[in-house]
Chains A and B, each alone.
Chain A
Amino acid sequence: MADPALVRSPADVFPAITNTARHTAFVRITHWITTLCFFALLVSGIEIVISHPRFYWGETGNVFTHALFQLPIPASRSSVLTGYGYVLPDQNGWSRYLHFQAAWIAVLTGLLYLGWGWLTRHFRKNLLPGRADVSRRALSIEIANHLRFKPPGEAEAWSYNALQRLTYLFVIFVLFPLVIWTGLAMSPAIASAFPAAVTVFGGQQSARTIHFFVSVFLLLFLLVHIVMIFLAGFRNRMRAMITGRAVKHMEHA
């Protein structure tokens, strides 16, 4: 017979911690596929912008027309005057191939996610904030806590706070659809089949400019998202999104 002292359950060894389900496999898989696509779209998008870092409003815009603004970066085409004494190598070919391939994967993943989220009531259960949490008072407290970099409470290890919910909903239902739409509006073939999808923005160059700004917002979201993961506890948050389980400190529960 074994010595009872040697048969110890993990709960005896780490009495204050339990291991609890956090994210479903569907959320984790779609999250990481989207992450990969996001980086592919970001890198290829930057390369495409480098070939013409000038932005316009309306239907047309080129080096002979007034620019809304020009990014202070070197270009991969000599036709754009940048003030730098050199021209970067052309990377548009593979960048365009990669951009559209990653966009397809992201869009198809996103559609599956929307369908799944609707069927399992994921959006209602996990993302739609409670009425009490979006009152002016509750939100001001939440914002103040964020601005003071206050570490999240125990409840936030399994549930998103109201600010987080609103941000995710905004990214999922506003920024992603808008970046896809403005991207498609730049396509001459799509513009021929669905002209209203372009004219609603004021033209193809306006769509390109909005596409750029929405991408900047998405990049800002990504940066804040990463900072928040570090502030909330990198190991636990990463474990939750990779293995699906989070550890719970019992004494704070």
Chain B
Amino acid sequence: MSNLSRRKLITTGLAATAGASGLAVAANLAHRYGLIPPDHGGIYGAGETLTYGAQRLLTRHSLAREFPRSQISTKPVANGETPQDEAFKRLHAGGFTDWRLAIDGLVARPASFSLAELKSYPSRSQITHLACEEGWSFIAEWIGVPLSHVLTVVGILPKARYVVYSSMQRGWWDSVDMADALHPQTLLTYGMNGGELPVGHGGPLRLRVPRQLGYKNVKYINRLTVTDSLKGFGKGLGSASPEYGYAWYAGI
């Protein structure tokens, strides 16, 4: 009897140790391969980590579907309000000639770019789906320079893990991991449906991340910061969205 319970105790102990170390190894691996989202804490953290981790494993290099020109929505929905502050209105009135995109953080050559400079880089156009987390969607042609190209120009350092982007719209900022930042379809978008990007759709510059939902595609961006950690930004949850209760990762 005492032998049996001792054996049981040893087996249980070994199983518990194996389980705990297994979890620790899994957590370590998941962290190293970037499978843990910044909003992994709290009661929904487990589900969020599973979603982000699983989608990263399945979709790291996948390309968003591109559609024929005939499928472009005739009336794209411009959701939300345009910035109402004087600084933005002045830039708008001046045709955004005084507007600049600043890039700093873990880059070899911090720089800022005018709209004309961004347009001088090789452009890419894509006809992709933009879906809002509410359920509606539209298809449009988006024209811009791949974020990866601009990141190459400034030279990202090997430690880089995220790119934080901030908007001229007060309170809006977000971030993507390097899988999305370096993805060929992630565009610093300045054109739409053959013309300029309308202010209602985020002009002068919107980050298009076509493998994520609308709210990740922040409008009016004017600053990019390359970083190895999101801890110093806002509440450390990766973007303004989790501070309003929305998930950082919007691939679903």
Contact = CB atoms under 8 A, between A and B. Distances in A.
B63 A192 contact: yes
A104 interface: yes
Contact of A92 (B44, B79, B133): B133
B85 interface: no
A52 B135 contact: yes
B50 interface: yes
Interface in B60-104: 62-65, 67, 71, 73-75, 77, 79
B227 to A, nearest CB: 23
A195 B75 CA distance: 25
A63 B51 CA distance: 29
Contacts of A187: 55, 251-252
Contacts of A96: 133, 246-247
Interface in A150-175: none
A105 B47 CA distance: 8
Q: Looking at chain B, what size class is its interface with the partner chain?
A: 35 or more
A56 B139 CA distance: 14
Contacts of B17: none
Contacts of A65: 73, 75
A100 B55 contact: no
A61 interface: yes
A189 B136 contact: no
Given A96-B247, A104-B47, A60 B79 contact: no
Contacts of A97: 44, 47-48, 245, 247
Interface stretch (B161-169, B194-202, B205-213): B205-213
A100 B252 contact: yes
Nearest to B60: A193
Given A52-B136, A59-B71, A100-B252, A190 B247 contact: no
A51 B44 contact: no
Contacts of B65: 191-192, 195, 198
A92 B214 CA distance: 14
A51 B50 CA distance: 25
A188 B210 contact: yes
B131 interface: yes
Contacts of A190: 55, 58-59, 251-252
Contacts of A61: 136-137
A76 B131 CA distance: 17
Given A97-B48, A188-B129, A48 B135 contact: yes
A60 B137 contact: yes
Given A93-B244, A100-B252, A193 B73 contact: no
Contact of B245 (A48, A94, A208): A94
A189 B134 contact: no
Interface in A46-73: 48-49, 51-52, 54, 56, 59-65
A182 interface: no
A98 B134 contact: no
10 contacts: A51-B134, A59-B71, A59-B137, A60-B71, A62-B73, A62-B136, A79-B77, A100-B247, A186-B252, A188-B129
Interface of A: 48-49, 51-52, 54, 56, 59-65, 77, 79, 92-94, 96-98, 100-105, 184, 186-193, 195, 198, 204-205, 208
Given A59-B71, A101-B44, 11 more contacts: A51-B133, A52-B135, A61-B137, A62-B138, A94-B245, A100-B247, A189-B62, A189-B211, A189-B212, A190-B58, A195-B65
